[in-house]
């Protein structure tokens, strides 16, 4: 009996270790902490996927657990910062206002869109960032937007929520209410929030009805296109925590309200084949990483361009070519009007090349761009800055981000 118990214990231990262990590059610090975090994330996502069939944890339930985990790892509220939960144009927002005083009468303003694959995340996850922006010599009023999420809504609803809240904030009346300098207002976001920030910045930059526009855009490892899931970074980091290629494709498919059976087709670029006349050569050039990426990132990779694949997929999923969903596809005439940009990318992130290509396209359009690339960075590190989810690269990324805003906003 003892031998059987021992065998069971050893077997379970080995099974758990096998499930948790993921080979990581030597540059990743505290690899076991990242492996544990990734295992937790994978388990939550799997349970959420099975929920409808077995009555398990729903996507919203998993979101609650992630919210609690991140909240526990974030420092508490900063004294003196006023936090208000209100609505902008009917969209729930959380507003952070700096303490009285600061560097002058007029303050900076910043609209922030959280990440989470358009399916996870809340404004509460931005509480520490909001407080930091307020007090860290930035004297900034921060608005974190509670846009609606999958599965309740799909594209373009999250984008439209963010656009409505941003336009409301940029109105002269609201800026005056919060004593914000109309020449110093930023839009920012991480991951899917970076996608929304880029898309909203593009729309507002070409909207002649807007008397106030964003001064800068700050994008943290943004997701910007869904036509090529075989860029060098997607291939190299397809199994990297905490965002694998399969998870990112699934987030895209969910966001665009497509059938999840398309995930394997998307993974091999069967949705963007040469037979699709709507994807013109000029449009393909806007995400041609073979031209847009520096050689150090291209290495020996070859573009995966399929002759024939999924028939009629663009009719089923029109959002694939919609610049509101995929800002990297915007034309140069739109990019030329965009505000100067800060783009943070991580070496070990499937989205690395999306950010680098967008930076290059903005620069080619005449926009000033600062690229902050972290050689030891991984997707999500920007959020992991305090125990028990503390990573040095996350703290460095946050300091660099704040420093850039201090100097450019």
Q: Within this chain, do residues 104 and 152 fall inside the same structural domain, yes or no?
A: yes
Read off φ and ψ for residue 110, nearest 5 degrees: -145, 130
33-49 burial, b if ≥16 CB within 10 A, otherwise e? ebbebbbebbebbebbe
Counting the structural domains of the chain, the total is: 2
Q: Alpha-carbon distance 350 to 101, whole Å? A: 42
Q: Within this chain, do residues 169 and 299 fall inside the same structural domain, yes or no?
A: no
Query: Quick one: pLDDT at residue 54?
Result: 34
Q: Within this chain, do residues 75 and 179 fall inside the same structural domain, yes or no?
A: yes
The residue out of 320, 338, 365 marking a domain boundary is 320
Tally of CB atoms within 10 A around 188: 26
Domain membership flag for residue 48: no
What is this structure's pTM? 0.89
The domain of 370 spans: 69-225+326-408
Q: Within this chain, do residues 202 and 104 fall inside the same structural domain, yes or no?
A: yes
Domain membership flag for residue 195: yes
Which CATH number belongs to the domain containing residue 83 in this structure? 3.40.50.1820
Domain membership flag for residue 57: no
Which regions of the chain are under pLDDT 70? Answer: 1-21, 32, 38, 40-42, 44-79, 100-104, 123-137
Domain membership flag for residue 53: no
Q: Within this chain, do residues 205 and 352 fall inside the same structural domain, yes or no?
A: yes
Domain membership flag for residue 9: no
Given the residues 144, 272, 379, 383, the one annotated as active site: 379
Query: Alpha-carbon Rg of the chain, whole angstroms?
Result: 21
Which residues in 148-304 belong to E strands, given as ranges?
180-190, 216-220
On whether the CB atoms of residues 342 and 401 are closer than 8 A, the answer is: yes
Q: Is 349 a known active-site residue?
A: yes
Q: Within this chain, do residues 249 and 279 fall inside the same structural domain, yes or no?
A: yes
Given the residues 74, 124, 144, 191, the one annotated as active site: 191
Query: Quick one: pLDDT at residue 130?
Result: 59
Q: Within this chain, do residues 214 and 124 fall inside the same structural domain, yes or no?
A: yes
Domain membership flag for residue 11: no
Query: Quick one: pLDDT at residue 389?
Result: 78
Q: Within this chain, do residues 194 and 342 fall inside the same structural domain, yes or no?
A: yes
Q: Which residues contact 404 (CB under 8 A, 6 or more apart)?
A: 218, 342, 370, 372
The residue out of 320, 347, 364 marking a domain boundary is 320
Q: Within this chain, do residues 299 and 340 fall inside the same structural domain, yes or no?
A: no
Q: Within this chain, do residues 130 and 89 fall inside the same structural domain, yes or no?
A: yes
Query: Quick one: pLDDT at residue 277?
Result: 86
Q: Is 353 a known active-site residue?
A: no
The residue out of 293, 320, 347 marking a domain boundary is 320
Domain membership flag for residue 181: yes
Q: Within this chain, do residues 214 and 84 fall inside the same structural domain, yes or no?
A: yes
On whether the CB atoms of residues 151 and 189 are closer than 8 A, the answer is: no
Query: Quick one: pLDDT at residue 4?
Result: 57
Domain membership flag for residue 103: yes
Given the residues 161, 190, 349, 354, the one annotated as active site: 349
Q: Within this chain, do residues 221 and 300 fall inside the same structural domain, yes or no?
A: no
Q: Is 191 a known active-site residue?
A: yes
Count of CA atoms in the C-beta half-sphere (13 A) of 119: 22
């Amino acid at each position: 009996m003892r031998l059987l118990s021992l065998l069971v214990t050893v077997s379970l231990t080995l099974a758990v270790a096998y499930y948790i262990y993921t080979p990581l590059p030597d540059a990743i610090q505290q690899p076991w902490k990242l492996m544990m975090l990734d295992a937790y994330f994978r388990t939550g996502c799997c349970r959420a996927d099975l929920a409808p069939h077995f009555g398990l944890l729903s996507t919203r339930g998993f979101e609650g657990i992630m919210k609690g985990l991140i909240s526990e790892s974030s420092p508490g509220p900063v004294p003196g910062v006023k936090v208000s939960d209100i609505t902008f144009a009917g969209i729930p927002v959380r507003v952070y206002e700096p303490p009285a005083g600061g560097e002058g009468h007029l303050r900076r303003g910043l609209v922030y869109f959280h990440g989470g694959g358009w399916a996870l995340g809340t404004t509460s996850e931005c509480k520490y960032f909001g407080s930091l922006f307020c007090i860290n010599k930035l004297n900034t009023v921060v608005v974190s937007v509670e846009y609606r999420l999958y599965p309740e809504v799909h594209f373009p609803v999250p984008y439209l929520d963010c656009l409505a809240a941003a336009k409301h904030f940029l109105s002269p009346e609201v800026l005056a209410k919060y004593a914000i300098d109309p020449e110093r207002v930023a839009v920012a976001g991480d991951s899917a929030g970076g996608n929304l920030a880029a898309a909203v910045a593009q729309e507002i930059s070409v909207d002649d009805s807007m008397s106030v526009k964003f001064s800068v855009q700050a994008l943290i490892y943004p997701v910007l296109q869904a036509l090529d899931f075989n860029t060098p970074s997607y291939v190299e980091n397809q199994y990297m925590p905490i965002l694998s290629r399969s998870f990112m494709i699934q987030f895209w498919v969910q966001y665009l309200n497509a059938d999840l059976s398309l995930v394997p087709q998307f993974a091999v670029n069967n949705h963007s084949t040469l037979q699709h006349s709507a994807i013109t050569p000029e449009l393909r050039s806007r995400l041609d990483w073979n031209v847009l990426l520096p050689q150090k990132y291209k290495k020996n990779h070859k573009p995966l361009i399929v002759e024939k694949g999924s028939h009629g997929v663009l009719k089923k999923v029109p959002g694939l070519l919609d610049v509101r969903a995929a800002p990297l596809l915007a034309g140069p005439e739109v990019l030329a009007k965009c505000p100067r940009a800060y783009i943070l990318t991580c070496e070990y992130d499937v989205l690395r090349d999306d950010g680098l290509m967008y930076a290059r396209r903005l620069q080619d359009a005449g926009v000033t761009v600062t690229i902050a690339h972290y050689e030891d960075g991984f997707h999500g590190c920007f959020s992991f800055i305090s125990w028990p989810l503390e990573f040095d690269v996350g703290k460095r990324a946050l300091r660099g981000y704040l420093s850039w805003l201090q100097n450019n906003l």
